[in-house]
């Protein structure tokens, strides 16, 4: 875990923004219209919808690390986005007249794009303000890799308290125990590594 992770996270946000912007432009300029055959419409958009799904899923994984306390609400957002995209695909590929109007399908896509825009805004917000425990670890990692002031015992004590509080909170969220346990284990390993690094520096 390090600052390079934040760079990758930001890069994926920008990629998602770009794909969504392209789809939105196609809708507003008439490139994707509601009078073309439905299966043809899917051919125009299906590849990009697949990319959108993959990027949303990847961003969700980053969010679960950077803001573990927000996992339930973020999961609901992601589920809603996927449901919209599934409805769009299903409505286009269902049995029916090839010449039928795809207006309802495009409306579903438009709603999905609106939700994704809100999701990317959330991603940028968390990128700028990750969970305190994660922010502390990232700062300590950055200090190790540069000539910044060394890690202090006070910071390590603070990080230890954050780890303990996070692990205690983990036990209160029964439905997310498995997911959060894995994330918190990663954080605990980071803490242990930084702690022993500080100990070695003091001994030296």
* Residue 50 parent element (H or E): helix 38-66
pLDDT at residue number 173: 44
Domain with 110 in it: what CATH number?
A: 1.20.120
Question: Any long-range contacts for 82-90 (C-beta under 8 Å, 24+ apart)?
Answer: 82/53, 82/56, 84/108, 84/109, 84/111, 84/112, 84/115, 85/49, 85/52, 85/53, 85/109, 85/112, 88/49, 88/112, 89/42, 89/46, 89/49
Question: Is residue 111 located within the same domain as residue 28?
Answer: yes
User: Residue 140 sits in which domain range?
Assistant: 132-203
Please report, to the nearest 10 degrees, the dihedral formed by the alpha carbons of residues 119, 122, 124, 130 taken in order: -140
Question: Is residue 123 located within the same domain as residue 136?
Answer: no
Question: Is residue 141 located within the same domain as residue 116?
Answer: no
Question: Is residue 115 located within the same domain as residue 14?
Answer: yes
Q: pLDDT for 148-175, tens place per residue?
A: 555 555 555 555 565 556 555 544 444 5
Through-space distance between the first and last CA atoms of the chain, rounded to whole angstroms: 26
User: Final residue of a domain: which of 95, 110, 128?
Assistant: 128
Question: Is residue 59 located within the same domain as residue 94?
Answer: yes
Question: Is residue 41 located within the same domain as residue 113?
Answer: yes
User: Final residue of a domain: which of 128, 157, 176?
Assistant: 128
Q: pLDDT for 11-55, tens place per residue?
A: 999 999 999 999 999 888 877 766 777 778 888 899 999 999 999
pTM recorded for the entire structure: 0.69
Question: Is residue 57 located within the same domain as residue 31?
Answer: yes
Helices 3-29 and 38-66 meet at what angle, rounded to 10? 160
Question: Is residue 124 located within the same domain as residue 154?
Answer: no
Q: How many folded domains does the chain comprise?
A: 2
Q: pLDDT for 44-85, tens place per residue?
A: 899 999 999 999 999 999 999 889 888 999 999 999 999 999
């Amino acid at each position: 875990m390090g600052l390079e992770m934040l760079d990758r996270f930001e890069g994926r946000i920008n990629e998602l923004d770009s794909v969504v912007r392209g789809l939105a432009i196609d809708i507003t300029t008439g490139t994707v219209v509601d009078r073309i055959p439905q299966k043809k419409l899917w051919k125009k958009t299906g590849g990009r919808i697949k990319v959108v799904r993959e990027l949303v899923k990847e961003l969700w994984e980053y969010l679960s690390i950077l803001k573990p306390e927000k996992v339930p609400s973020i999961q609901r957002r992601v589920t809603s986005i996927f449901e919209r995209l599934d409805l769009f695909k299903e409505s286009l590929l269902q049995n029916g007249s090839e010449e039928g109007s795809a207006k309802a399908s495009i409306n579903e896509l438009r709603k999905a794009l609106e939700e994704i825009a809100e999701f990317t805004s959330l991603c940028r917000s968390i990128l700028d303000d990750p969970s305190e425990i994660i922010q502390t670890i990232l700062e300590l990692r950055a200090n190790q890799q540069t000539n910044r002031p060394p890690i202090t015992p006070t910071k390590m004590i603070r990080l230890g308290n954050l780890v303990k509080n996070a692990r205690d909170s983990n036990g209160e969220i029964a439905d997310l125990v498995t997911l959060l346990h894995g994330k918190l284990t990663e954080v605990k390993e980071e803490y242990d590594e930084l702690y022993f690094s500080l100990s070695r520096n003091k001994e030296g």
